[in-house]
A and B are shown apart, each in its own frame.
Chain A
């Protein structure tokens, strides 16, 4: 029996019915990974995974996700399993502890088969900045899978695993989900613990999930999200069951279309898919309202001050002194710092550290960092106002479908515009997701649904109802006609 492209819920049922054992499932997974050409994984966890599968088969472990193989983005610390964050500087780093998200998913019984490839320190929108090589899009191996969680997205899209974790700082779950034709969700900032997530930009980073559909994403969020005393920014709200409202009726619901998100410049296919999806939601009884979010145009510049500022400080700990890469043949302490960091970090990471250092410097702080904090507040207020009028906001997930590897690496600004539609929800901290909703020249296109604070259930409800009435999420790279 082929397990490729099976959903989390389908595999769960097969396991429950004992149509397949966890051991077979995990063994098959590693077989598929070894024949894959997408370079989705940095480190495999074969021995431990097979042992855990055996334990499940012997009835020794329980849980909502028991016996199911999943992949972890290589940004989550995994105890005794190498965690590189896609960087040479952590090439040999083996954490002594588990991230809370990893711990939660492990407690639910899932089996981590390996750590997925990613842009170095999650800085990138194409997965080309990884020290471990670019990830290839399973729909077209010459193209990028998006980033930064490109390995997780590609692994799910290729059917290697039915689910994977990701992190989203400016679109790092939604954009690769869109470019790989799968479903990905980033919950409200503070819903999932950041303990053990290697920090890029602390005030924006949020863990989330990739799966083949919204229902599976809801099931995953039930375990990924938790209040955590180890994370001071963790929200204390009661845990909710994200599957509970997934079948609610959409009649009379209001969907906001952001006036300032101009899609008239985007490709015809992106525009057409958007119009078609509007019609589907209309047929389900939802209404469309235009909302004005005048400050949303400040999102990209605001982000590219806030995120680098935080990253320049967060990445200071990688200094060659305590762990990670240390340059050899150094003369003194300063030389050790300079060489270790110069050799350990890639270009994009260095670029952002430099930008961040600059915007926080004496004399520039007010002009950049302080101003960015002000515009961030204005963007937040735009969301608060918009959500007083509508239930969800809808937009394309990314400006285009997957682009060719190497085509944007020389132009950082164009690369940064990949996150045009996704960045604002990180700045505001609201939940958002991407679902497949069409194709452009055989390449998937994503639809973004943004929800109000703590309204993950609402967007999951919209996505699930959409997927009950469409089949875009069922398509896969082997399914033939994708027009």
Chain B
């Protein structure tokens, strides 16, 4: 029997605001436990929430990017349940009237473009963290994360494989990082997803019973967890059993999903409008402001690089697909530095250095200013492209200024043609056999002579001059 899979994803993107959704405490990751909390986050008696408009700006920016409807009046509801890391005993979320509704995201699976529709994206506060393994006899709570703004992005059940789910997640990742809505750091939980998975017989119109896999936090695990779950469900159905609607956890060590304690999650959340918060109204002026500061998206960037800067298409796509790379690129390129050269080095040399160290460009020793200097020195002939790579390697390790490296190591290109001519003359005199062979028609030996001159000058001779001079001498 053949089965088809239906998947819907609920992605939680932690919005990169400075402060929390309803308090002025910082959202910085990795601080000492319980240091990023104020009275509101603690849920003290008598405290009240006040919305962070910046979180709304980010949510709206996302909504605009996916062509969604923006509810300029949206509301907050309370989701009631008891848990120690939920200080108020309820989570404030947007159940009834979310800020973003509709829209879609394009994904690319093996060259095929597919559109995944978005149901809604709503704002809500994150909970704190319960820590069960720090002490032998007690659990403790860290409320640093409590109140951090999340955008929950809910897709329609239109994803039909684990591979598509990963593509969708990657597309979302690229989008939210580009929009500067979320830092996209999945290992820190900034972007995580719940997958609703069900299967049905090919051709069936009704959906099968779904299970929800909670809190998957890497592209790899999304694929593995969903694939495990599909296989498991097929096995259940083919054995004549029924899939139970439940919440499951993915265990990456065992590569399996298993049910979470169902009792804990069989909650009636008793949603109702939060009486502490009035409907949030976004004015037309505020909407205009958000639209005006809307960032250029990868596709538009790529097109602009190709048409305006005459960058190679492949390179343009690589640079524009990463927010960090494109920012770096745009900062480094100016009227005195060649964009084509910049793109070429960025994708080639620098790309492989980044891969080797597994870091992002903004985490490297190379600043855009320094890269700009390097590009200028190539353009103005101070150094050759080949020497530039040596300088780059040095910057990569030391972070030193390009000019300083060029000066201290004496890497300035030899421009004086009489010097090059003297060296070339000596090389030819020292290799009479090769000269004879070249003259007899062995053209390939020209490279040998160039190489010898470069070797003698430690690569500093201007390559074009070397070519010209050798041609003249050998003719």
Contact = CB atoms under 8 A, between A and B. Distances in A.
Interface in A338-394: 357, 360-362, 365, 369
Contacts of A95: 44-46
A230 B48 contact: yes
Interface stretch (B80-88, B113-121, B345-353, B439-447): B80-88
Contacts of A360: 80, 270-272
A90 B44 CA distance: 11
A195 B47 contact: yes
A96 B39 contact: yes
Given A97-B39, A369-B272, A316 B88 contact: yes
A208 B356 CA distance: 68
Contact of A232 (B43, B50, B87, B270): B50
A369 to B, nearest CB: 6
B272 A309 contact: yes
Interface string B70-97: 0000000010101010011110000000
7 contacts: A90-B45, A97-B39, A316-B90, A321-B84, A322-B42, A360-B270, A361-B270
Residue of B51, B270, B276 most packed against chain A (CB within 10 A): B270
Contacts of B46: 76-77, 95, 99, 194-199
Given A77-B46, A322-B42, 10 more contacts: A95-B45, A195-B46, A232-B51, A317-B88, A318-B45, A319-B82, A319-B84, A322-B87, A361-B270, A365-B270
B278 interface: yes
Interface string A227-266: 0011111000000000000000000000000000000000
A313 B79 CA distance: 9
Interface in B254-275: 268, 270-272, 275
A323 B43 CA distance: 10
B49 interface: yes
A125 interface: no
Q: 9 nearest interchain CB pairs?
A: A316-B89, A360-B270, A203-B275, A202-B275, A196-B46, A198-B45, A77-B46, A317-B43, A321-B84
A365 B273 CA distance: 12
B270 A317 contact: no
Contacts of A273: none
Contacts of A229: 50
B276 A316 contact: no
B431 to A, nearest CB: 84
**In the complex, which range does the number of interface residues on chain B fall in?**
20 to 34
A461 interface: no
A337 interface: yes
B16 to A, nearest CB: 23
Contacts of B39: 96-97
Interface string B49-61: 1110000000000
Interface of A: 76-77, 83, 85, 90, 93, 95-97, 99, 194-199, 201-203, 229-233, 309-310, 312-313, 315-319, 321-323, 333, 337, 357, 360-362, 365, 369
B45 A77 contact: yes
A317 B87 contact: yes
A17 B238 CA distance: 94
A194 B277 CA distance: 12
Contacts of B48: 194-195, 230-232
A353 to B, nearest CB: 11
B276 A232 contact: yes
A337 B141 CA distance: 16
A312 B82 CA distance: 12
Contacts of B82: 316, 319, 337
Contact of A202 (B141, B270, B276): B276
A232 B80 contact: no
A93 B270 CA distance: 28
A456 B47 CA distance: 26
A178 B39 CA distance: 36
Nearest to B141: A321
A313 B276 contact: no
Contacts of A231: 48, 50
Residue of A196, A201, A316, A337 most packed against chain B (CB within 10 A): A316
Given A90-B45, A96-B39, A198-B46, A333 B80 contact: no
A232 B275 CA distance: 10
A233 B82 CA distance: 26
B44 A323 contact: yes
Nearest to A333: B84
Contacts of A318: 45
Contact of B276 (A93, A233, A337, A357): A233
B139 to A, nearest CB: 8
Nearest to A233: B278
B45 A232 contact: no
A203 B82 CA distance: 22
Contacts of A365: 270-272
Nearest to B273: A373
Residue of B39, B50, B51, B275 most packed against chain A (CB within 10 A): B275
A57 to B, nearest CB: 32
Contacts of A197: 46
